[in-house]
Structure 1
Amino acid sequence: MDSNMLDSLLDIEEDFYKEGYDLGVADGAHAGYTEGSVFAVEKGFEKFIELGRLYGKSLVWAQRLADSKTKAETSEQSQTAPVKTDALSLDPSISKELPQLPAHSARLARNLQTLMELVDPASLDMSNTEEAVNDVDERLRGAAVKAKLIQRAMGESEDGGQKPGDGTGSIEDISALNVRH
């Protein structure tokens, strides 16, 4: 009987280690799931904020492009015939501050159309599957590239302001240089 009691005393450390390990695994699984869920929500929110920002920019660019095209057509028609304005015209004060767009180009219109298709909220898959997450990531990357192309074509900087100079970014564009006195 003495050897049986001593064997249990020798195994007590092993028993406590196993019990602590099992409790740690259970607590870690629960905490890991909770932390993983919070992380997933944060990352998803960041991605959809960026998609929303690009969608808003695309809407503004599309309206500016349509306005510049309409103004160009109106100026051509005003030389030939009077124009009827039956449509409701919204003229927000902020649009008066926006600089004129460069000449209308088919490439700019195609890039803008592609951007709008990539960031259209109605076409985004909101399911939590691997394919849906990959699709959102790919669309976000493609939309960011298209937005940069459009910004360069419109002569805008990253923050939305107008770049100094002619907007080509060429080495001959010295208008952005500061003069030293």
Structure 2
Amino acid sequence: MIVGITGGSGTIYGIRMLESLKSLGVETHLIMSKWGEKTLQVETSYSLNDVKLLADYHYFNDNLAAPISSGSYPIDGMVIVPCSMKSLAEIATGVTSDLITRSADVILKERKKLILVARESPLNLIHIRNMEAVTLAGGVICPPVPAFYNKPEAIDDLVDHTVGRILDLFGLHPQWVKRWGKSLKTAEKPV
């Protein structure tokens, strides 16, 4: 699976995604944009090298000759987490200027799963139309919306829940996700 990390706030989602995929035994191919690297420095205590070590393979974002830029390379899917509005716009229009957006374009043309964890608020009409275009092309827009029914006690709980839901979209169902109706008492008592 390809994991793209762009400059939208929420780099921890991408890090946690890499950690989770590693624990599930999924081979990962990491690409970070220049602004993803900058945001990593601002938001976390992780170094760029720490993040690269979480992936099986990593590529420079300007390397359009990387194997994952071709549909002939065997990849099951891609997640861009977080996904900036710039990356979303490039994917929506098919104007791909870097490896992250080129790889996303390849995933769509090969009819494989593409999930964009869009990080922006509030949204303007251009963002919404770009999300519509990607959705119509087969992608999934999955903003990191927190759930509170699972009684989160820390930011890590919110991050883990979102990452778990993204993994669900790939057909990977981590046992640690607190699911509605399973780990919660939602049944009514008989009268």
Please state which band the TM-score falls in when normalised by the shorter chain.
under 0.3
Larger Rg: 1
- Which structure carries more strand by proportion? 2
